[in-house]
Amino acid sequence: MADPTTSGPYPLAEPGLWVERVGLKVFPTGTPALFLDRDGTINVDTGYPDDPTDMVLREDVAAVIATANRADIPVVIVTNQSGIARGYYGWGDFAVVNGRVLDLLRADNAFVDMVVACAY
């Protein structure tokens, strides 16, 4: 069981807060953005997601994200991961699962600009 307060190689802004910029695109200040919850909105909710093979995208979500991409609207995934705070899994497990979700989206030509996760 991983310690949720240690960052290791992960983009933790502070203990319990993951802030990851995906890609290099820069948007002007004040640009509207699309914020989407991950579990249950982007992917089918599996409870405490610690297995990347369980990740399945919800129907039509990639099309919505791709539409935002074409309109030059930043897409941000926001997600609470209380399983980390509870010690069910760690940031490493989160990284692998989240990477799988991003890969599934990319396979459907849908791209995310930022991921923000809170362990509490």
Report the 10 Å Cβ neighbour count for 120. Answer: 12
Does the pLDDT value for residue 7 go beyond 90?
Answer: no
* Catalytic one of 39, 50, 93, 113: 39
39 is catalytic: yes
* Catalytic one of 3, 37, 103, 108: 37
72 is catalytic: no
The structure tokens listed for 59 are: 């129907």
Query: Does the pTM exceed 0.85?
Result: yes
Reference 93, options 58, 61, 37, 54; nearest CA is: 54
50-82 tens-digit pLDDT:
999 999 999 999 999 999 999 999 999 999 999
